[in-house]
């Protein structure tokens, strides 16, 4: 059962081939067996999961089930979960128990999904390898000496290793798509504002977006349908109806114009990844799509602009962790200043401190114009590039990450090389567009991600293109040999 997708499990549940209680018990057992190796979960909510599974079984028996009823999923530990520990991968929030559910969590619960637990992540979602977590690194199920990507590395590894049917993630600069690419799963970052940020611990508020991590595009459609929607508690939430993502999955892609970004296919791209992306493009052509070349002339500025905007916003967002209201507090502070200083010094890890310092500097009075304002202007130029590109194409397709999974520790002391993991994903966040990563053919036995970028709120089209490709190929069905 654990190899089945949500769509397949949903049929098995409704046909009585398995109950949610049986399925949940089986998945919890898999977590126990395999997570000693992977470290993808930080909290397992066994009792809660079984209670939710029993409720799901009643709903199924009553004929009131939806497609997610009884499906075991996991949440990235950045989402607040009522009465359940929420750590955001940080010592700062060690032992913090949230008094409420994030909107995305509540939406999935209402849809009947069963929560198995919370997944490991880079501290406050800062990282591309899941090595900055206070709870230790996550390992990639395809090769446990390599990283699963980050920051949603726990969710990615858990979905790839079949420890849960799907998981939630968040993406500020690539944190859903890059780990999806490195672990061979499907990940979708929706348009900024499509999913509520309420109860999702803030990193960089103008970039953060929640999305599904699954084993197929069809499953991503099922998850997004439940996650998305207007939320009056998030002032940046989009006040527009949610499209019928599942209903849109049937259209042939003949005539769809696929934009190839010329700046993304050259220098810096691993040759094996490039070949794999080309094979996927050939398949899209075979299905009737038309390839057109587009240009994003300012895309090269996206990483530098991001590393001003994201740290600036994080330095402000993380000011709330002062040792007073919640989170880590140092022992025996001398005075208030000592309390702030030592609580924050002890609570935050090195990468988070680096970001807070960069951000504070960039926002300081003398430098604001030179850095923050300049970065915001670059951001506008990048959005304009995409606007022009989407006049000539319907979907942009290219690589998600520049290479396959790298070895644990390989980039840990080289922040710039780590930051370049997101070279193809960050522009999408700066512009607020939807982006997706799906498996392309593997390179040397390791997964490769194909990125699909859509116009604003065009998730339905993105999901359909991905689904059509997955109907015609089996790249997304490959599984890490030790976890099938």
The single residue listed with the structure tokens 């690194």 is 137
Least Å distance, CB 172 to ligand GLN, is 4
Asked if 187 touches ligand GLN (CB under 6 A), the answer is no
174 part of the interface to ligand GLN, by CB under 6 A: yes
CB neighbours of 393 closer than 8 A, spacing ≥ 6? 257, 258, 259, 292, 294
**Can you point out the beta strands (E) in 190-299?**
209-214, 257-261, 290-294
**Cβ(123)–Cβ(173) below 8 Å:** no
User: Would you count residue 253 as binding ligand GLN (CB under 6 A)?
Assistant: no
In 3D space, the residue among 156, 390, 81, 402 whose CA is nearest the CA of residue 268 turns out to be 402
- From candidates 133, 151, 191, 315, binder to ligand GLN by CB under 6 A: 151
The CA dihedral of 145, 147, 153, 157, to the nearest 10 degrees, is: -40
Question: For residue 150, what is the DSSP state?
Answer: S
Contact flags string 109-148 toward ligand GLN, x per CB under 6 A? ----------------xxxx--------------------
Is 218 an interacting residue with respect to ligand GLN (CB under 6 A)? no
Integer Cα distance of 325 and 458 in angstroms: 40
Binding residues for ligand GLN, rule CB under 6 A, total 13
* Nearest position to ligand GLN, beta carbon: 175
Closest to ligand GLN by CB, 209 vs 216, is 209
Please report how close the Cβ of residue 395 comes to ligand GLN at its closest, in angstroms.
21
Helix %, strand %, coil % of the chain (to 5): 45, 15, 40
Q: Which of 310, 362, 396, 430 binds ligand GLN (CB under 6 A)?
A: 310
Active site residue 19: no
DSSP code for 16:
T
Among 77, 263, 422, 459, which residue sits at the site for ligand GLN (rule: CB under 6 A)?
Answer: 422
State the alpha helices, DSSP H only, in 295-400: 302-317, 336-347, 350-363, 374-392
- Choice from 45, 133, 168, 175 touching ligand GLN (CB under 6 A): 175
**175 noted as active-site residue:** yes
Distance between CA atoms of residues 407 and 145, nearest Å? 6
77 binds ligand GLN (CB under 6 A): no
CB of 139: closest distance to ligand GLN in angstroms?
18
Identify whether 151 is a catalytic site residue: yes
Point out which residues bind ligand GLN (CB under 6 A).
125-128, 151, 171-175, 203, 310, 422
Residues with catalytic roles: 76, 151, 175
């Amino acid at each position: 059962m654990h190899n089945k997708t949500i769509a397949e499990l949903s049929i098995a549940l409704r046909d009585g081939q398995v109950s949610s209680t049986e399925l949940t018990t089986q998945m919890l057992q898999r977590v126990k067996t395999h997570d000693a190796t992977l470290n993808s979960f930080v909290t397992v909510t066994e009792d809660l999961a079984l209670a939710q599974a029993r409720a799901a079984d009643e709903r199924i028996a009553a004929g009131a089930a939806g497609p997610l009823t009884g499906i075991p999923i996991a949440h990235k530990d950045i989402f607040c979960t009522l009465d359940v520990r929420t750590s955001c991968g940080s010592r700062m929030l060690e032992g913090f128990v949230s008094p409420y559910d994030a909107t995305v969590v509540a939406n999935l619960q209402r849809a009947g999904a069963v929560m198995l637990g919370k997944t490991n992540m880079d501290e406050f979602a800062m990282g591309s390898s899941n090595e900055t977590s206070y709870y230790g690194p996550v390992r990639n199920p395809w090769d446990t000496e390599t990283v699963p990507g980050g920051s949603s590395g726990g969710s990615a590894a858990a979905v790839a290793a079949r420890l849960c049917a799907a998981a939630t993630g968040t993406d500020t600069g690539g944190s859903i798509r890059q780990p999806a690419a490195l672990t061979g799963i499907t990940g979708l970052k929706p348009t900024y504002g499509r999913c509520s940020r309420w109860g999702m611990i803030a990193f960089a508020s103008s970039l953060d977006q929640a999305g599904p991590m699954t084993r197929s595009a069809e499953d991503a459609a099922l998850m997004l349908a439940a996650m998305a929607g207007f939320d009056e508690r998030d002032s940046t939430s989009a006040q527009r109806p949610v499209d019928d993502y599942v209903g849109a999955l049937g259209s042939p892609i003949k005539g769809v114009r696929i934009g190839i970004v010329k700046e993304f296919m050259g220098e810096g791209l691993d040759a094996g990844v490039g070949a794999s992306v080309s094979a996927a493009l050939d398949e899209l052509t075979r299905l009737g799509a038309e390839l057109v070349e587009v240009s994003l002339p300012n895309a090269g500025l996206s990483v530098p602009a991001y590393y001003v905007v994201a740290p600036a916003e994080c330095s402000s967002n993380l000011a709330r962790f002062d040792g007073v209201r919640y989170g880590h507090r140092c022992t025996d502070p001398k005075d208030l200043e000592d309390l702030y200083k030592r609580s924050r010094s002890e609570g935050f890890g090195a990468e988070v401190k680096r970001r807070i310092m960069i951000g504070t500097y960039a926002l300081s009075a003398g430098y604001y114009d030179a850095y923050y304002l300049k970065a915001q202007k670059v951001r506008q130029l990048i959005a304009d590039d995409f606007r022009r590109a989407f006049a000539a194409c319907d979907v942009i397709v290219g690589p998600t990450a520049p290479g396959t999974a790298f070895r644990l520790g390989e980039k840990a002391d080289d922040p710039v090389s780590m930051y370049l993991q997101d070279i193809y994903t960050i522009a999408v966040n700066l512009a607020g567009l939807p982006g997706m990563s799906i498996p392309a053919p593997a390179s040397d036995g390791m997964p490769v991600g194909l990125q699909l970028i859509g116009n604003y709120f065009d998730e339905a089209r993105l999901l359909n293109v991905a689904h059509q490709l997955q109907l015609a190929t089996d790249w997304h069905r490959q599984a890490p040999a030790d976890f099938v």
